[in-house]
Structure formats: structure tokens, C-alpha cells
Amino acid sequence: MGEFDLIQRFFTRPTPRAVLGVGDDCALLQPRPGMHLAVSTDILVSGRHFFPDVDPRTLGHKALAVNLSDLAACGATPIAFTLALSLPNADPAWLEPFSQGLLALADTHGCELIGGDTTQGPLNICITVFGEVPAGLALLRSGAKAGDDIYVSGTLGDANLALTHLLRARQGANLEASSAAAFITLPPEDLALARTRLEQPTPRVALGTALRGIATAAADISDGLLGDLGHILERSGVGATLDTARAFGCMAAHHSSEHAAAQLATEALRPAVLRHVLSGGDDYELVFTAPACQADAVQAAARASQTSVRCIGKIDAATGLRLLDRDGRWMRNDFQSFDHFA
Ligand code: ADP
Ligand code: MG
């Protein structure tokens, strides 16, 4: 199968919304009047962002999901995306499920594949998404104000819990020797749920658009809650106090079975749970701020988008991030967020 057969067979589809889709030198988009075009790019590199032997169907889903998550964080509605693919070989047995996973999520969000590039090389997937948001209503990182409440959507920490398990299964003793922290062992059913969070994240697009005009700032959580909240604080020139007791309850594994809940509640595992929740990463939930007077509107947006949200802290005028333990005392912040070059 040649390059153009591959594009034709797996990545060419009708694009009723775009002026022009796959096949020419450029695709053409017509933003609606009064709308800003929201654009974001994310790259997924084999061995860095995913295991080379990961199920291609979930990989297709995730490659688009992480991009849609950025649109969600801006309150933008997805319109279209481009796909730049570097592939070791043109293997239909891999391309078929990959494109199915990718396009199924695209269809869920009415997001059209309008173009891309295809080359031979190490497996590596780069997607650029285009969305639209009414001018002036995009959710930015820079709008948080002292006194605002801080919310997170959905659940946190499960993706990182699953990743830790997968790494351990692959590296076994090595990792065990290098990790002093207590390790969470869950039954297979609970782990399967955490693994779905890692491999098939749900971009919070409906929540993002429902928060237009309500949230003062927002970001999606890809590198860990504390790191991504840190970006909001920095861009907004404010600080925050986080209630770690409330954050602790964010892990879905708590709710998956009685056994899991009992285990996670043990004192010895508390630091490990907090580490997964506060700095784990790969959650693709939204962290956002809103004034206290909008608390009802936030809950209405959550209901309308069928996405749970919980308040986990407050924005302060004083810069810096402060953590409270469950007794309301200051806690040392030794949680590290993910950084590719750190
Ligand atoms: P160019 O040589 O101008 O870069 P290509 O020959 O690489 O264009 O691609 C031909 C057409 O196929 C273009 O419209 C391009 O956008 C599209 N295309 C290439 N790769 C992909 C892909 N992986 N998914 C979707 N469209 C693609
Ligand atoms: Mg090209």
C-alpha cells in the first residue's frame, strides 16, 4: 500500500462543514461570524507518551482526545483537525483500528479530519485541532481573581495509577528498588477502570463550553493538577490554597469497589494516593476558577454537561501555592509535576 492509498483508505472522509477537506494543498475552513478560531497542537511520541505495543484503537482515541481536551479548556467547540503521522510501515492491521478509534471520537464531537501529512519513520502522531468560540468568551489561564473558588472536573490520579502498574509489570524489580513510596495494589477490575482513564480519556468539551461566561480561568490537566493549576496562578498573577482532603477524594478508584476504597483509605497509602491525584498527570480533566457568586451556575454547567465537578480550594491574592492537610494545617509541597526536560 502506497502513501496515497493509505491516506485514501483510512483518512479520507466526507467533510460537510469544511469548505475543503483532504486532497488539496490546503484545507479550507470558514469560521462563523463573531467566532474566534481556537487552535491547538499535541504530539504523541512512541515510547514517550505511549507504549509502542499499545492497542492502536485506544491510541487513535487518545491522540485526538488530548487535543480536544485543549479546546475544552478554552471553552471552544471542535470543528476540524489535521493529522500528521510518522509510521514505521503501512500496516493495515494497525491502521484500521487506529483510524477507527480516532474517527469514532471525531464523530462524537463532529470534528472533521480535513488534512495532514504522512511519512515513514518512528511512530509519532501529531494532531492540530481547530475549534470555535464566541469572540471574548474563550476561557483563558489569565483570568483567575483572589477569592475565586478552584474546581476540578471528573476524577484525578487514576491514569497515573494505571501507568505505575503497567511500568511495574514491565520493569518489575528495577522500579521496585528505585521507588521508596508505598505502592497501591488493586484488584484487576479496579485497575481496568484506571487503565481506561489512561488509555481512553474523555475530553470535557461539553463542560468547557458550558463554563463560558462563568469560569474566570481554566486549563486542562495533562501534566498533573498542581503543575497545571500553577500555570493558571502564574498567568493570573495570583496564588492559591488547596484542600488536599478534598483532592484526596478525586480518585475514581475510591468509588470502584469496597475493596479498593478500603485499601486507598489506609494511612500508609495516603501519600501515594495524594501523589497520583496532585501530580500524576494524563488526567485530561479541567481545573478552573469561578467567583463564589457563580457557585450555582458552575453546578448547573456540571449537570448540563453530565460531568461532576468539585471545589478543592480558593484563589489568594498572595502568590504561591499552599496546601492544607486534612486537619487544616499547612503541608509541605514536595509534589513534582511532569516536565519532559526536567
Ligand atoms: P503535500 O505534498 O502538499 O504535503 P500530501 O501529498 O502530503 O500533500 O498530502 C495529500 C493530501 O492528503 C493533502 O490534502 C493532505 O492534507 C492529506 N493528508 C496527508 N496525510 C494525511 C493524513 N494522515 N490524514 C489526513 N489527510 C492527510
Ligand atoms: Mg506532504
DSSP string across 261-298: HHHHTSGGGHHHHHHHHHH------EEEEE-GGGHHHH
Q: Under CATH, to which class is 3-134 assigned?
A: alpha beta
Confirm or reject: Cβ of 63 under 6 Å from ligand 1: no
- In the chain, ranges of CATH 3.30.1330.10 domains: 3-134
Distance CA 285, CA 72 (A): 9
CATH superfamily entry for domain 149-331: PurM-like C-terminal domain (3.90.650.10)
Confirm or reject: Cβ of 302 under 6 Å from ligand 1: no
- In the chain, ranges of CATH 3.90.650.10 domains: 149-331
* Burial of 13: CB neighbours in 10 Å, binned 0-12, 13-18, 19+: middle
- List strand residue ranges (DSSP E) for 164-259, in order: 217-220, 239-243
Nearest ligand to residue 24 Cα: 1
Nearest ligand to residue 3 Cα: 1
Report the atom number in ligand 1 closest to the C-alpha of 118.
Answer: 20
Confirm or reject: Cβ of 154 under 6 Å from ligand 1: no
* Burial of 297: CB neighbours in 10 Å, binned 0-12, 13-18, 19+: middle
* pLDDT tens string 201-230: 999 999 999 999 999 999 999 999 999 999
Confirm or reject: Cβ of 24 under 6 Å from ligand 1: yes
Confirm or reject: Cβ of 126 under 6 Å from ligand 1: no
Confirm or reject: Cβ of 107 under 6 Å from ligand 1: no
Q: Walk along the chain (342 residues) and give the pLDDT tens digit of each residue.
A: 889 999 999 999 999 999 999 999 999 999 999 999 999 999 999 999 999 999 999 999 999 999 999 999 999 999 999 999 999 999 999 999 999 999 999 999 999 999 999 999 999 999 999 999 999 999 999 999 999 999 999 999 999 999 998 988 888 656 554 554 567 888 888 899 999 999 999 999 999 999 999 999 999 999 999 999 999 999 999 999 999 999 998 888 787 888 888 888 888 888 889 999 999 999 999 999 999 999 999 999 999 999 999 999 999 999 999 999 999 999 988 887 777 776
Q: How many helices and strands in the chain, by DSSP H and E?
A: 13, 11
Nearest ligand to residue 126 Cα: 1
Q: What is the pLDDT of residue 256?
A: 80
Distance CA 342, CA 338 (A): 8
Dihedral of CA atoms 90, 93, 96, 102 in degrees, nearest 10, equals -90
Q: Are 291 and 145 in contact (CB under 8 A)?
A: yes
Residues near 198 by beta carbon (within 8 Å), at least 6 away in sequence: 158, 159, 160, 162, 163, 166, 282
Residue nearest to atom 8 of ligand 1 (CA): 25
The Å distance, Cα 129 to ligand 2 centre, comes to 18
* pLDDT tens string 232-265: 999 999 999 999 999 998 888 787 888 888 888 8
Confirm or reject: Cβ of 2 under 6 Å from ligand 1: no
